[in-house]
Structure 1
Amino acid sequence: MIRIKEMGDSWIILKWKSSFFIAITEETGNENREMILK
């Protein structure tokens, strides 16, 4: 799992799961999942 600090207090978490590259943005307790690579 890779954690990257972005602007403000949001964190970008990158991790491999089921051959899908998922980027999760953590902000105010909310998780926005974005499919980057299939």
Structure 2
Amino acid sequence: DSFSDAIGNFAVAYADQTERDYQLLVEAVKSGRVAAEIGV
């Protein structure tokens, strides 16, 4: 069914984007551009 396919495709794209966003956040914290408290 096309609705199920659309939801599945959205979920995969959303997960991929979340992984990219997290990697950018990690890099920003490591470089000091974003302050974060580690190990809380």
Q: TM-score if structure 1 supplies the norm length? A: 0.22
Structure with greater helix share of residues:
2
Structure with greater strand share of residues:
1
Q: TM-score if structure 2 supplies the norm length? A: 0.22
